[in-house]
Structure 1
Amino acid sequence: MPRIERIFCIALAVLGGSVGSAWAQLKPPPAIPGPAQIPNSAATPPQPGFRPAPPVASANTPVLTLTEVFDAAWQRQPEARSLQARQDAAAARKEAAASWTAEPVALELSGQTDQMNNNLGRREYTAGVAIPLWLPNERSRSMAVAEAEQRATASSTLLAQLQTAAEVREAYWSWQLARIGFVLARERLLNAQQLTADVSRRVRAGDLARADQHQAEGAQAGAEAELAEAASALAAAGQRLRALSGLTLPADATAQPEALLTEPAPELVRDASALGDRHPAVMELLNRTEIARRSAELAQARTRGTPELMLATGRDRGAFGDSYQQSVTVGVRIPFGSDSRNRASISSAQAQAIEAETQLALEQGRIQATLDSVQVRLESTRTQLTAAERRAQLARESRAFFEKSFKAGETDLPTRLRIELEAIAAERQAARARVELAATISALRQALGLLPQQNTP
């Protein structure tokens, strides 16, 4: 071959290699999979030298706070939708108790005639009113019952809010834990793909055996299975939270454990009696007891049926040609008392009061036991978080050391895989400890009867 042709062929080969190298550098790295995009073992591994950065939540990604979920969930509750009607009913009962008459005034109209008989011209027309009268002390005690029922309406609403908050807190922190578990599982898969690509390159170069590539691919397959399981758990937790609140959950699952919006830690209360009547459950039982007591007092005042004052005026004549005569009638209608009915009302109200007082004592004991349990759990969780964060820091440093050592050929693959699993386990433990601490603070606020309230970012 002439010299000029050989030079031309060499130039073409060099140019082709340069274009191929440039094209390889322009190929984008593999996209981070989402919950519905779980990679399989047949996927092409990342390019050698690619190191995925840890997932970071976008600054523009909306953060779904616990308070937002609670507000949305409460608006869907039957107690919230019927609140206005129950408040109107309580106000109407109080207004009725403040009336000057025990029941509405009745109008009575009547007429008499002999037109259907001998028709002598007898006519009589009467118009009157019947005014129900309060029994002694009945009006004031009816007012006391109406005021107690009005307070009970507010306390029952607050108790319903606290019960909704318990469901929301449990579902919200379960969802947060599932999100973080998914992110850690995805990060493990990316690391496993990177390691598999590195091992494949070294196997082709003859530095490692084929068995090492099988071990790396097996670790990648295990990471894929773990990611699929984490995606399933995230979907289940999201469905539960969505069913409770009706909100559309953020599509971005890149939640960082350090960025959790926790509730403010409340002041520790060792004795439940120090809460007084601030706890919604205690307030509800106190109001129920007050209603029962007031009802018993009202039953004692109602010793008989409602008496009536009757005022009437009449106009009558005896026969044709007689002048009409005007008359006025004043009367009182007093029902006889019923001792058995009165005793039944009083005994029923007293039984309700005893039940409410007994339930109050049991509820205070339950609150005290919950406070003791949650406070011990809070101290334990803080200790676990400190140890878990220390372990995660050491594991990250160890992984960096062994990664460099493995690339230099000073560490075998089984050791490298073990260090990787230990680092992932340490990160998972630290992330779970952060969520557990946030959930424990929420549990403490729940035990104290406080509604959800989150710190600002």
Structure 2
Amino acid sequence: MPFPFPRPRLAALFASLALACAAHAQSARPTLREAVDAAWSLSPQARALVSRQAELDARARAVGSFLAAAPTVSLAHKAGRGNASGAQETEAEISAPLWQPRLRSATASQVEADRAALSAQIAAAKLKLAAEARELATAAAVAEAQLELASRKVSEANAVAADTERRVKAGESARVDSLRAQSALSEAQSARAAAEGALARALANWRALTGMPQLASLDEAPGPEGAHPIVQAAEAQARAARSKLEVTEADRRDPMEIGLGVVRERPGGGAATENAVRLSLRVPLGGDIRNGARIAAARAELDTAEAELDAARRLAGAEREAAVAELDAARRSERLAADRERFAREAQELIAKSHRLGETDLPTRLRADAERFEAELARARASIEARRALSKLNQANGAMP
């Protein structure tokens, strides 16, 4: 069966067009930062965290009020019976709870600490989402490189099979060489199909996270080493827990209540109606029964937050050290993979030329082709892994794309 074999000029034209299209697609790709912003807009966690802003605003308005809670109104009416028939008494009172000493300022501090903790949580959540976007973009880039090389391998195997078929018809090669060439072509086509499936899966995962149909570019510049958002979130959470403990210690009893009432009394028996104004003050008493468990729970929450802060600092330091080592190793691997690819390419070109001249058999040519393909794939992976290692170092430093 004949196989199409493109002429050199036509093949060069196709290659130039492919490179131009690839360059245009690369330039039109969104950045990782744009992808992270798109993923954040779709994240359920983002919506939940942003909704907490309304809660904090309501708490801030409550702290700004002169009263500790909403006032209450009470009404009472009594009517006499028997000997006291005709006597009546009506009471109306409005009472309002007042802030305890230090409780109002402690509550205001807690609201501000919770607001800072929320902002830090949002930054940490965005950084974690950036890690997912970086990993998915890397996986998709590897799948793209595999598909590109697999497609080129199919073209090369197709050309070898066509050349071998021509030689068999001319009586220059045995029929077994044609079968070997077609087997190599089928293997290359199978590898391309597998690469297409891997890329489809990577693209599906990418769209599920970001909602974007196109992959982001992996090009990242080294980010500065600064405060890590996850550590900052743990620090803010510890401050919020400390503020909560201060509020709990200041809130040792129910709020005092001041009341203003009017009493209208008619003794009966034709006596005149009497009116009076009443001022009341209610001071609840505190005790360990009310406060002991609450203070203990707040202290336990603070201890947990401080322990999590220590763990976050240790983890951030370890991740930064590991990322630096991984980047150094990835760059060395990239250089070695480039050398391997150069050696394999030069060897394959020599063997291919020798095969065209009839000096080398087909199995040797196929092995050289396979070695070159593996070397090119290894170099593409090493290049992507180097960019991935730089991205992971930025992630470990707490730098957004």
> What TM-score, normalized to structure 2?
0.90
Instruction: Using the TM superposition, give the Cα deviation of residue 153 of structure 1 relative to its aligned residue in structure 2, in angstroms.
Output: 1.5
Quote the Cα distance in structure 2 between the aligned partners of 1:347 and 1:370: 34
Quote the Cα distance in structure 1 between the aligned partners of 2:118 and 2:87: 59
Quote the Cα distance in structure 2 between the aligned partners of 1:131 and 1:400: 92
Aligned partner of 1:386 in structure 2 is 335
Instruction: Using the TM superposition, give the Cα deviation of residue 289 of structure 1 relative to its aligned residue in structure 2, in angstroms.
Output: 1.3
- Give the aligned residue type for 2:92: A
Is 1:264 the counterpart of 2:264? The answer is no
Identical-residue share of aligned pairs (%): 34
Aligned partner of 1:351 in structure 2 is 300
* Counterpart mapping for 1:224-263 below 5 A: 224-249=189-214, 261-263=218-220
> What TM-score, normalized to structure 1?
0.79
Quote the Cα distance in structure 2 between the aligned partners of 1:331 and 1:153: 41
Aligned partner of 2:261 in structure 1 is 312
Quote the Cα distance in structure 1 between the aligned partners of 2:349 and 2:41: 50
Instruction: Using the TM superposition, give the Cα deviation of residue 327 of structure 1 relative to its aligned residue in structure 2, in angstroms.
Output: 1.2
Equivalent residue in structure 2 for 1:211, among 154, 163, 176: 176
Is 1:76 the counterpart of 2:42? The answer is yes
Whichever structure has more helix as a proportion of its residues is 2
Quote the Cα distance in structure 1 between the aligned partners of 2:174 and 2:331: 46
Structure 2: gaps spanning 5 or more residues: none
Aligned partner of 2:113 in structure 1 is 148
Aligned partner of 2:3 in structure 1 is 45
Quote the Cα distance in structure 2 between the aligned partners of 1:287 and 1:117: 69
Aligned partner of 1:375 in structure 2 is 324
Instruction: Using the TM superposition, give the Cα deviation of residue 48 of structure 1 relative to its aligned residue in structure 2, in angstroms.
Output: 6.2
Please provide the CA RMSD for this pair: 2.4
Aligned partner of 1:28 in structure 2 is none
Larger radius of gyration: 1
Quote the Cα distance in structure 2 between the aligned partners of 1:167 and 1:106: 52
| 1:312-331 Cα shifts (integer Å, max 9, x gaps) | 12233222644333311111
Equivalent residue in structure 1 for 2:384, among 413, 435, 440: 435
Equivalent residue in structure 2 for 1:56, among 15, 19, 22: 19
Could you tell me whether the CA contact under 8 Å between 1:48 and 1:201 is conserved in 2?
no
Equivalent residue in structure 2 for 1:165, among 130, 146, 171: 130
| 1:128-163 Cα shifts (integer Å, max 9, x gaps) | 221212222111111111111111111222222222
Instruction: Using the TM superposition, give the Cα deviation of residue 118 of structure 1 relative to its aligned residue in structure 2, in angstroms.
Output: 6.6
Between the two proteins, the alignment pairs up a number of residues equal to 393
Is 1:86 the counterpart of 2:52? The answer is yes
Aligned partner of 1:99 in structure 2 is 65
Instruction: Using the TM superposition, give the Cα deviation of residue 194 of structure 1 relative to its aligned residue in structure 2, in angstroms.
Output: 0.5
Equivalent residue in structure 2 for 1:297, among 221, 228, 246: 246
- Give the aligned residue type for 2:19: V
Aligned partner of 2:393 in structure 1 is 444
Question: Which shifted more, 213-222 or 175-184?
Answer: 213-222
| 1:395-446 Cα shifts (integer Å, max 9, x gaps) | 3344333333322333332232222122211211111011111211221122
Secondary structure at the counterpart of residue 132 of structure 1 = strand
Instruction: Using the TM superposition, give the Cα deviation of residue 117 of structure 1 relative to its aligned residue in structure 2, in angstroms.
Output: 5.9
Secondary structure at the counterpart of residue 449 of structure 1 = coil
- Give the aligned residue type for 2:101: P
Structure 1: gaps spanning 5 or more residues: 1-41, 251-258, 270-274
Could you tell me whether the CA contact under 8 Å between 1:285 and 1:356 is conserved in 2?
yes
